[in-house]
Chains A and B, each alone.
Chain A
């Protein structure tokens, strides 16, 4: 039994502490907005925020997330999150959309640290998030757009 604080609520879960956080979130809490893409922190589809930083939930054990604040795409909020979501919708970034929860969580993280990233800074920061549909042109544009809103 362990306790995970997800989206502001403590959840008592009967899971092996070694279970990856991703599966605790998806299979036990049924929060399915966080996606499974590779299982090895190679694609970023499973990105969540842990104590405010972007993290790959597929490669963190649930036991190691105890006592930390975990936020998923369903509940991420605030000025930066609003700006990112709205830019994503305004520019219609999504295609299949499967990777976009992770893209958005990473973009929020980037803009929280850097309110005016250059293309090179965007590329460096978003390098760990794969989009197989190839929406990268619009991801860059949407991050610039969100930065404009936040300025």
Chain B
């Protein structure tokens, strides 16, 4: 038993590189960049791809994205139904196949995927056109059936009518003939001012299923003869199996097989409980020669040393050093951020079945095309013979979009090893999830900034130390420029504020600890640093933090409007009782502008966040209630990282494992949240992520207002300053 398996990292790098070579050469990961180039490119809008109208009048909209809570399975149908003039009561949704040629994310090039808060942004025009084309086809079919001029036909709430002749029909009677007609090469879209559904509070289409137990997540998929697999992965990232004794595991009732796979040892059983008991009975010795053995304290100390050395230049504008030389007052601030697990409520899992040269996977996948190629490569199949059935995702926050295809790879390796003799449900437990890596990267920032006698910023020197998310993945080509991972410095180099003399440098130290985008990606730490440092400078200058920010956004009315709206609604400037404080923060990410005002009550070692007032400008508000929900949810999600969440390593071993030592926000900690949306007729941008970045700095700035103590690092520990 001395056969050496490749390390998990090497294996994943190999499969990922292969997948990348296939598909992702033109990937554009950042919608901001695409927006700057004039919005998403056009995509196919043949209604037969996106809309199915039943004889019973139901309008089923085919959604190409993953619904993971963000409301896309309501938002996309809303856009289609608007242009189609459908009756919302008749509208349903289903998820599309992984037919990449038709269901690609228009920002992602030839790849299907959900992420970067792009869904509504990338498909708004495409879905409007699909709805408008279907409407035009209904009208054309009706005109020829009733022998009346098309221009005299009206469509409203799922009814087609010809007022002159009194003809009237519901969609269901006309659809079969209409959908056979040629798709119009040009369609006329409604003016924004005549929207009836967009901009109103329509009920979510997934609420009923999710309140009755009927909603189906990947964990709920059952296939005939299905086996459940759990995998014993090493305690140390980068370790590999040296020796395996599976005799005891094989004796556990219900255990069917034990298989070595690149990431560890898989136990297959007739049910989940037998599989986990079998796993507990495995005896494994691990080869730690390439493993991470350090503790997070050591890694952070190394990051601190790196921050004092020159790094790669991410941006150099003006002369920051000279600017700092002119300053009359300066700050020199350090910020540390821990590894964070996404910890979606539904742990990673997927069902994979291989039969007759074809594979089918059921998963809450955010990157269906990439997972398709990962499966095809490992199983030795052509990608067109791999079907990915997208199920609901029980949360994700980025975890189900893994460029390294970790869980899909594991399932494929297991099914391959058993020769496809049974469908396999790969299930991660909560401990597997918290200990399994693919964390928000541990990061360290140093900011030196100064102001002149008038309180104007004279220079800003910023160093970021963070492992790259994109290096070694299919996204590397587009996301890395001159060695700089844009996902490490976004939110700084593209700051909305007019900071003239600025230099940003980056260190991307390597480590076997796998990292991944975590709801708002780089903005999850850069937003906090920018907004905390700005607050410090405002106080140093003796200026109101709101006025200080507005002055730096002089030529930016949309940014100013968002800040002013949050401030006005919060009662900014009115006095607070002793021990309480108010803090403000603003951050743009993924094309969406968000400001938050936090109110906190602080004790000596503890604090409570009592109220959050948020303002958001995301362009056209497709469903204001879903937008409000995303902002409320972002507060609850991000608050756990403010209050306590961190993944730490001790001699390379993760110290946390479940919701006791990695405890998300609980209901008693949830503040009141008020969300205000700036009215807009601009092209819509996303709302899944942008609510996260401003929360922590708004709270930290409120704590400073309440206590005079500046807590820079996350999680915020009041006993610790800076």
From B206, B660, B667, contact of A139 by CB (8 A) = B667
Q: Check if B667 sits within 8 Å of A92, measured CB to CB.
A: no
CB distance from B371 to the nearest CB of A (A): 19
Q: Which chain B residues lie closer than 8 Å to A26 at the CB level? A: 272
Contact indicator B345/A95 (Cβ below 8 Å): no
With most chain B CB atoms within 10 A of its CB, the pick from A20, A34, A133 is A133
Quick check: is B217 within 8 A (CB to CB) of the other chain? yes
- The residue that B632 contacts in the complex, of A34, A89, A137, with Cβ under 8 A, is A137
Of chain B, the residue at the smallest CB distance from A94 is: B210
Task: Tell me the chain A residues, 94-119 only, with Cβ under 8 Å from chain B.
Answer: 94-101, 104
B673 at the A interface (CB under 8 A)? yes
> Interface readout for B649-684 with A: 1 if CB under 8 Å, 0 if not?
000000000111001111110101100000000000
**Contacts A34-B213, A95-B70 given: A134-B207 contact, CB under 8 Å?**
no
Inter-chain CA distance A42–B592, complex, in Å, is: 35
State whether B211 touches A89 (Cβ < 8 A).
yes
- A16 on interface, CB distance cutoff 8 Å: yes
Judge if B212 is at the interface, Cβ distance under 8 Å: yes
Is B344's CB within 8 Å of the partner chain A? yes
Residue ID in chain A nearest B216 by CB atoms: A32
A94 touches B211 (CB 8 A): yes
Judged by a CB distance under 8 angstroms, whether B6 is at the interface is no
Closest to B637 in A: A134
Binds A, one of B32-40, B295-303, B331-339, B388-396: B388-396
Cβ of B481 within 8 Å of any chain A Cβ, yes or no, is: no
Q: What is the CA–CA distance of A35 and B636 in the complex, to the nearest angstrom?
A: 21
- Report the nearest A residue to B632, measured CB to CB: A137
Asked if B101 is at the interface (CB within 8 A of a chain A CB), the reply is: no
Residues of chain B contacted by A43 (CB below 8 angstroms):
345, 430, 659
Residues of chain A contacted by B210 (CB below 8 angstroms): 94, 97, 100
Q: Which residues on the B side are within 8 Å of A101 (C-beta)?
A: 213
CB of A132 within 8 A of CB of B211, answer no
Asked whether A96 lies within 8 Å of B204 as measured between CB atoms, the reply is no
Q: B659–A130 contact, CB under 8 A?
A: yes
How far, in angstroms, from A134 to B212 measured CA to CA in the complex?
Answer: 20
Shortest C-beta distance, B609 to chain A (Å), equals: 12
Binary contact track A117-151/B, C-beta < 8 Å → 1, others 0: 00000111011011111111111100000000000
A96 touches B394 (CB 8 A): yes
Residue of B nearest to A23 (CB): B273
Could you tell me which residues of chain B, from 86 to 121, have a CB within 8 Å of some CB in chain A? none
C-alpha spacing A31/B214, complex, angstroms: 9
User: B69 near A96 (CB under 8 angstroms)?
Assistant: yes
Interface residues of B in 612-665 (CB under 8 A from A): 625-626, 629-630, 632-637, 639, 658-660, 663-665
Q: Is B208 an interface residue (CB 8 A)?
A: yes
CB pair B345 A130 closer than 8 Å: yes
Residues of chain B within 8 A of A63, CB atoms compared:
none
**When each residue 7-41 of chain A gets 1 if its CB lies under 8 Å from chain B and 0 otherwise, what string results?**
00000000010011001001110111111111110
Shortest CB-to-CB span from A23 to chain B, Å, is 4
Contact of B272 with A97 in the complex, beta carbons under 8 Å: no
A137 to B665, CA, bound (A): 12
Q: Judge if B245 is at the interface, Cβ distance under 8 Å.
A: no
Interface flag for B547 (CB, 8 Å): no
Instruction: Note all chain B residues with C-beta closer than 8 A to A133.
Output: 69, 345, 395, 633, 636-637
What residues of chain B have their CB less than 8 Å away from a CB belonging to chain A? 67-71, 203-204, 206-217, 219-220, 222, 228, 253, 271-273, 343-347, 392-397, 429-430, 625-626, 629-630, 632-637, 639, 658-660, 663-668, 670, 672-673
Which 9 pairs, one residue from A and one from B, show the smallest C-beta to C-beta distance? A134-B636, A33-B213, A97-B210, A98-B394, A96-B69, A95-B69, A73-B213, A32-B220, A136-B670
26 residue pairs A–B, Cβ–Cβ below 8 Å: A27-B273, A28-B271, A32-B213, A36-B272, A36-B347, A37-B347, A37-B659, A39-B429, A39-B430, A40-B660, A43-B659, A45-B345, A85-B211, A88-B211, A95-B71, A95-B395, A96-B67, A96-B392, A123-B668, A130-B664, A132-B397, A133-B345, A134-B637, A137-B636, A137-B670, A139-B667
